[in-house]
Amino acid sequence: MRPRRAAAVLLSLLVAAVGTASAHQIQGSRFAAPIPLRFLFGGAGVTVAITALWVGRTGDATGGRTWRTPLAIPHRVATALRYGAKAVFFAGFLVTIGHGLVGPQIEAENFSTVFVWSVWIAGLGLFSVLFGSPWRVLSPWRAVYDALVRLEGRAIRLVDTYPSWLASWPAVVVFVVGIGVLENLTVVPRSPASTAVVVAGYAAAMILGGVVFGEEWFERADGLAVLYRLFGRVSPVTFVEARGGYRLRLRPPWTGCTDAVADLSLVAFVVGTVYTVSFDGFTSTPEYQNLLFGLRDFLDTGPTTSVLIYVVGLGGFLVAFVVVSIMMAQLSARESAWRETALAFAPTVLPIAAAYEVAHYYPLVAERLGVLAALAWSVTIAPADPVTVLGWLSLPAFWGSQVLLIVVGHVIAVVAAHAVAVERSTNLAAARRTHLPLVVLMVGYTVLSLWIVSRPVVS
């Protein structure tokens, strides 16, 4: 059997075989596996490995191809959509602060907590994976800055240039503190008032930074802008300007992941994204709870133990990627420093983060959209119960979708990394040799990701 066909058959068998596998909860249900999970994990790892073998033997990693579609959006329609979306999202931003501070301090009944953490942060992440980042249009602090610029009649910035040494490190800090710690490890997402304060404080910091450093601040220091832009690299959809409007084109999802990132701060951001989406799932497992309370008792560190676990794990992921980058640089046919190798290959792991983001969050986003719709209807018209968007989705189908998304994400990442290796190598043999350490890392992470989603959820 040819490697390409073997990979497709294995992937199909994986999805078909997990109809009753142990999984995370959905609507409070669980189910047991008819096959040992080690067979599932092994099969997934073999699927990723066979994909690497196939592209390594054939050199097939088409990256620049795009396909034209008949869908076109006229300029007037695009402009109306842009300003309409900007206005609606800015209104949501204002309601978030107001309702969070003065509305009912109950998570499921307050617009702030329902909207921010799932519909805004996670939902726009899913949108970016599918269609590209919408943040340049939706960013409320960018909208305030643009309004100030129009009032002033010129660009506003107190310093001449954005410091090159600062790079995107502010965005890394925002992501680690805001998403990694606040969202995953604190009660802030369950507190409407705290959520409103966090959003208002972050908006003030972003606007102040824009006034000091100008527009580049929003591109490089805003953690959400960087996150959605990186997720947008995986999008199979692009819009190109055409006569009278914009035309939609399709592309392989690894195409945008073959261009190197600009600096090590973005390498850290990419690795942090991969780690954090997995850590979020890991915090719901009994193994995490045992680790957390065991370390609390041993170290006597109290509630900060969870932050310590997160930071140590993040450091471990960063060290692992640096070690793999060093190994790839040494195995490469051309002389290159590990930094150059890390910059080139970091974007190739974005499909893994994107796949886990979609697999982990699409049920939550769908559920919270139903709650948000009920809240809006109750406030404006009459009391209403939340809409159950995914009530039709069975648990076996949900589990199968998670497995499929995770494995496909790793397969796309393997293809992207191979394309980069080919571009940086003199021949196919050298590309295979360079690619090997990252393949081993990806296979291991495939198994780890599936193990996490296979575990039962604990409070």
The tens digit of pLDDT for each residue in 355-399 reads: 999 988 888 888 888 888 887 777 677 677 777 777 777 777 777
Q: What is the pLDDT of residue 333?
A: 65
Which two tokens mark 348? 């190739």
pLDDT at 420 over 50: yes
How far is C-alpha 15 from the chain's CA centre?
23
Nearest CA-CA partner of 11 in 40, 32, 36, 34: 40
Q: Would residue 59 be called left, alpha or beta, if left means φ above 0 and alpha means ψ between -120 and 50 degrees?
A: left
Using a cut of 0.85, tell me whether the model's pTM lies above it.
Answer: yes
Q: What is the pLDDT of residue 63?
A: 56
pLDDT at 300 over 70: yes
Q: What is the pLDDT of residues 149-193, one digit of tens each?
A: 999 988 899 998 999 999 999 999 999 999 999 999 999 999 999
- State residue 241 phi and psi, 5-degree precision: -70, 130
pLDDT at 225 over 60: yes
Nearest CA-CA partner of 361 in 195, 184, 222: 184
Average pLDDT over residues 80-93: 95
Q: How far is residue 250's CA from residue 56's CA, in Å, rounded to a whole number?
A: 25
Average pLDDT over residues 313-341: 90
Which two tokens mark 367? 């559920």
